[in-house]
Structure 1
Amino acid sequence: MERVVIVTGANSGIGLALCERLLSEDSQLRLCLACRNMQRAKAAHSALLTSHPDAHVDLLHLDVGSVRSVLDAAQEVKARYSRVDFLYLNAGIMPNPQVDLKAFFKGLFSRNIINMFATAEGLLTQQDRLNSDGLQEVFATNLFGHFLLIRELEPLLCQAAHTSRIVWTSSSNARRSAFSIEDIQHRQGTEPYSSSKYASDMLSLVLNRHKNNQGLFSSAICPGLVMTNLTYGILPSFFWTLIMPFMYLIRIFTNTFTLTPYNGAEALHWLFGQKPESLDPRAKYHSLTSGLGINYTQPQQMDIDDEMSDILYEKLLELEKEVRRKLREENADTHQLTE
């Protein structure tokens, strides 16, 4: 029986590299590219079929930053498939990242250089904004849209006959210090990306507590430092051209510089072949690359408080009720106007 795998943010970067690796692993699986930009999704679809002509690759329009898009896409998934074996939650944004250049150049000539590049701690802030649903854009895209998708797809994910897997693409930038349980959307802070990724780590843990007995297992991964469109947006392109030889040199001394999307997808691909019962729900699985270019996966314990993760889960459930109510009211108003 073919396995059904959905990958959000699959049209480029780590998501596309993962799709390529999955098809090389199992040419019989049914792969669904869930993307916001359908033009780029079609290009990715063509590229995958060029390298795997007999593959079953579907396209799904999904903007995880839009409640209506998530609900529509979930309905489409339920119409197409009887179950979902793997749901890779890979889509994410870091809008308008700003670099503290003074801190950057100070770190460049310090002992902290490797950690600085690996985590961007103290270097990056982002400009967030409200989306059309009245939610903070980074929170909505990186966390809440995926949470809502899981909730909608529970009938396909939670089935007694087989186990299903959720895998979150997290980050080394996921830090407890950036997250506040009193401000889960990070309206008051300047690090919404870090906050959203830490929240996804917490949500992965709490989903295991609530859903393992229904056959659903969740994991979080860190791709390492990967050069993708998101990364290239942090600094001018000419800078990356100058510094890339230096980055490969640094990789001799640290295994977190995966650098390429293929390498960054290592942990995502590794989890595809693992039995969920053998995995540690409190671990984040890191893609690592040695100085010789050898890829491997290694778990590291996450700094997560059980009580706080439970509170986050309850707050997300309440927010889900709120956005669904708002959507019903909007639909009712629209219906009245058309009568």
Structure 2
Amino acid sequence: MVRPIIIVTGANGGVGFGVCHRLLVQLSQPQPPDAQPVFAKHAGTSGPVLASASEGVTIIMACRDLQRAGAARAQLYGLLDTHIAKIPRGTKEHEYALEFQRNVALEIHRVDLSSVRSVFDFGKEVSQKYPYISHLICNAGLATYSHLDYWVFFRQVFEDPLDAVRHPMFNVQKSGAMSQDNLGHVWQCNVFGHYVMYRTLQPLLSRYSSQFDTASEPLPQARVLWMSSVDALATYDPDTDWQLTKTDTSYQSSKAQIDFLVMELARRDHVPTPSSPSSTSPTSPAIGHYLVSPGITATKMAAELLRPYILELCMLAFFYFVRMLGSPHVNFATYKSAVAASHVTLAPARCIPTTAAGEGMGEEEDTRFPKLTVFSDRLGRERVGIDPVAAWDKHPDEGARILERCERLYQAFVEREKGSGEGTANGNGHAASP
């Protein structure tokens, strides 16, 4: 087996922290529950676990705030200790967990997704230290929330409380924010920054397959997980506002762009191409792209709008209320919000559906793209389900356009870095040559 090396952006809090926590707990077990098939079409299917205890895992916590990241790392080690302490001593499971614990490495690397230079520097650092990357979990994101519109809140709750949680229109967002690179701030942090990271690390991701014996077919792919949202809405003008500076729903629009982008990347991965990726090709047969969503959970990003604290408690009470009404996505722990990302990270590739028909729920084949999403029942028990994603009816080629724009802009920044003599991970001699 090969030691997994997993990058999680935004790992110092919220869902990113939950992903790290869940992966540690799952991998400390000989047969991780999250690695088991969850869809009817794959019932009874099994496959090798991602790694054994002797391989352990390296999780790279890619964060902007090193102090918060250090505190989060200490907390994660403590949570793993707590989990292992609950396993009966003297059992094979306890011995396995202890061996895994000895082989865990939580590494911190700084990155600011609002700066292309910072992402390039991150790529250089990672390329110098690690021989390959097995998983890139693009989790970090932000929204420019300014305040709550209480009139819209009460109206939306009265008309459709379940929709008020899934698509809250009362979280007012500021428009026009620009990054230091003179790009749309939300767009760069949520979409383009992760695209630059993926392209910068593409050689390392492609090298993962080469770590395995070529006699074992098919060779495992490296995986890129793109964190979307159940609140993804294409409400922007794709011709004049593709950087999302004019729309008042930049967060939802950025998540819709991620949906379209990943659909296009996945589609191109299935088109025959040369076996080795080039620095000008955004796709590679050695890399798989997946959409995941944490469902609906209370995070710091939402809590910052709710002051005084009594309002945060009211939000939690409202979440409980709509979950009892039947809202399928509400959960209250980031550990539970991470089950979809954990499943896509750990499960054998053949057990991850490539269409929305993966759940086997109907007689007709649903060929829409699958977004693996966290669902919860009224008691809060989490599971992985599918939220189908379709192309934008008005602009069915939007995924290709987003990919083209991101790639063109990425190449422009690469050329600028070469001109300044800095270089990037793809061109500094440290990463594997394509």
TM-score by length of 1: 0.91
- How far apart are 1:235 and its partner, in Å? 3.0
Query: Bigger CA drift: 61-70 or 318-327?
Result: 318-327
Return the match for 1:294 from 381, 385, 389: 381
- How far apart are 1:324 and its partner, in Å? 3.1
Aligned: 1:229 with 2:300:
yes
Instruction: State the distance in 1 between where 2:129 and 2:267 align.
Output: 29
- How far apart are 1:323 and its partner, in Å? 2.7
Tell me what 2:70 maps to. Answer: 42
CA contact (8 A) 1:99 1:125 kept: no
SS of the residue corresponding to residue 174 of structure 1 reads coil
Tell me what 2:425 maps to. Answer: none
Instruction: State the distance in 2 between where 1:180 and 1:98 align.
Output: 26
With over 3 angstroms needed to count, the CA separation of the structure-2 counterparts of 1:124 and 1:283, relative to structure 1, is farther
- How far apart are 1:29 and its partner, in Å? 1.2
AA partner of residue 259 (structure 2): D
- How far apart are 1:259 and its partner, in Å? 2.8
Alignment of 1:17-32 (within 5 A): 17-27=18-28, 28-32=56-60
Query: Bigger CA drift: 181-190 or 166-175?
Result: 181-190
CA offsets 1:156-178 (integer angstroms, 9 cap, x no match): 11245341111111112211234
SS of the residue corresponding to residue 158 of structure 1 reads helix
Relative contact order, higher structure (CA 8 A, sep 6+): 2
SS of the residue corresponding to residue 289 of structure 2 reads strand
Query: Bigger CA drift: 157-166 or 68-77?
Result: 157-166
Residue identity (%): 25
Alignment of 1:5-84 (within 5 A): 5-27=6-28, 28-52=56-80, 54=102, 55-84=104-133
Gaps in structure 1 of 5+ consecutive residues: 333-339
With over 3 angstroms needed to count, the CA separation of the structure-2 counterparts of 1:120 and 1:243, relative to structure 1, is closer
With over 3 angstroms needed to count, the CA separation of the structure-2 counterparts of 1:176 and 1:219, relative to structure 1, is same
CA offsets 1:217-250 (integer angstroms, 9 cap, x no match): 1111221211111111233232121342232132
Aligned: 1:268 with 2:304:
no
CA contact (8 A) 1:128 1:138 kept: no
SS of the residue corresponding to residue 165 of structure 1 reads strand
Query: Bigger CA drift: 252-261 or 133-142?
Result: 252-261
Tell me what 2:173 maps to. Answer: 125
Name the structure where helix makes up a greater proportion of residues: 1
Tell me what 2:432 maps to. Answer: none
With over 3 angstroms needed to count, the CA separation of the structure-2 counterparts of 1:70 and 1:181, relative to structure 1, is same
SS of the residue corresponding to residue 145 of structure 2 reads coil
Instruction: State the distance in 2 between where 1:203 and 1:266 align.
Output: 23
AA partner of residue 314 (structure 1): E
Return the match for 2:205 from 133, 157, 163: 157
Query: Bigger CA drift: 68-77 or 219-228?
Result: 219-228
Instruction: State the distance in 2 between where 1:158 and 1:231 align.
Output: 36
Instruction: State the distance in 2 between where 1:197 and 1:107 align.
Output: 22
AA partner of residue 235 (structure 2): S
Tell me what 1:335 maps to. Answer: none
Instruction: State the distance in 1 between where 2:138 and 2:14 align.
Output: 14
With over 3 angstroms needed to count, the CA separation of the structure-2 counterparts of 1:331 and 1:38, relative to structure 1, is same
- How far apart are 1:95 and its partner, in Å? 1.9
TM-score by length of 2: 0.72
Instruction: State the distance in 1 between where 2:171 and 2:74 align.
Output: 38
CA contact (8 A) 1:121 1:173 kept: no
- How far apart are 1:123 and its partner, in Å? 4.9
AA partner of residue 340 (structure 2): A
Query: Bigger CA drift: 157-166 or 293-302?
Result: 157-166
CA offsets 1:267-290 (integer angstroms, 9 cap, x no match): 111212223344226111110111
- How far apart are 1:331 and its partner, in Å? 6.1
Task: State the number of aligned residues.
Answer: 331
The structure whose Rg is larger is 2
AA partner of residue 37 (structure 1): D
Tell me what 2:426 maps to. Answer: none
Gaps in structure 2 of 5+ consecutive residues: 29-55, 81-100, 211-219, 271-283, 356-368, 423-434
Tell me what 1:251 maps to. Answer: 323
CA contact (8 A) 1:167 1:268 kept: yes
Return the match for 1:217 from 288, 299, 312: 288
SS of the residue corresponding to residue 214 of structure 1 reads coil
Query: Bigger CA drift: 99-108 or 67-76?
Result: 99-108
Instruction: State the distance in 1 between where 2:239 and 2:334 align.
Output: 32
Tell me what 2:231 maps to. Answer: 173
CA contact (8 A) 1:166 1:219 kept: yes
Please report the RMSD computed on the Cα atoms of aligned residues, expressed in angstroms. Answer: 2.0
Alignment of 1:296-315 (within 5 A): 296-305=383-392, 307-315=397-405
